[in-house]
Amino acid sequence: MSGGVTISDLAARPEFFDDVADRIWQAWWKPHGVPLAYIAERLKENLAGRAIPRAFVAHVDTEDGATFAGTASVIASDLDERPQYRPWVAAVWVEPQFRSRKIGRLLIECAADHALQSGAPRVYLTARPARRSLYEELGWTVVEEGVGDLAMTVFVRGARRRQRPAVASR
């Protein structure tokens, strides 16, 4: 919990499934003509109880109910150009009204720690070059720059000794 925000496994909070599917679709897939139904089917794989793929959700719980704040996932592969890198932290999204509260950092840490604690020796992440300083500040190391049509930066992080953020589970 951080400032009233909780990070949970999506399987433990399925009421946020539609929010997560919609944000992933809107941010990354809708512009390419991919139907929301396709993204929802892929997201269902996160509910199967396997280590990967796995989705996490940030939410604020109040007496009036719960509010979706953001999401991040751990997936097997995120860049077709780099199939040798796996697993990945991907689909990091924070709702506009919750930005600048370090929720994205919490989601990234939670997803990365999950991947590493699931047995992966390292975990990858891709981002626009403008986000480089944020990921380096979080302990990620640049592996490659200028990858793909969008000239993305690829980062890696290996296991390190630290306390994992609390994640609500089933």
pLDDT per residue over 21-55, tens digit each? 999 999 999 999 999 999 999 999 999 889 999 99
Distance in angstroms (rounded) separating the CA atoms of residues 108 and 125? 9
**Position 13 in a domain:** yes
In a 3-state reduction of DSSP, which class is residue 49? coil
CA 113, 115, 117, 123 torsion-angle sign: negative
Tokens of 82: 């780099």
**Position 166 in a domain:** no
Residue 85: predicted pLDDT: 96
pLDDT tens-place string over residues 99-108: 999 999 999 9
Torsion angle of the four alpha carbons 143, 123, 4, 14, in this order, in degrees rounded to the nearest 10 = 130
Q: Which element (helix H / strand E) includes 160?
A: none
**Position 14 in a domain:** yes
**Position 127 in a domain:** yes
- pLDDT tier, 160 (very low <50, low <70, confident <90, very high otherwise): low
Residue 2: predicted pLDDT: 40
User: What mean pLDDT is reported for the chain?
Assistant: 91
**39 to 13, 67, 110, 166: CA distances (angstroms):** 18, 22, 22, 27
DSSP for residue 163: P
The count of structural domains within the chain is: 1
Phi first, then psi: give them for residue 5, nearest 5 degrees: -100, 135
Residue 69: predicted pLDDT: 98
- pLDDT tier, 159 (very low <50, low <70, confident <90, very high otherwise): confident
Residue 170: predicted pLDDT: 47
Q: In terms of residue numbers, what domain contains 40?
A: 5-158
Distance in angstroms (rounded) separating the CA atoms of residues 36 and 160? 37
- pLDDT tier, 166 (very low <50, low <70, confident <90, very high otherwise): low
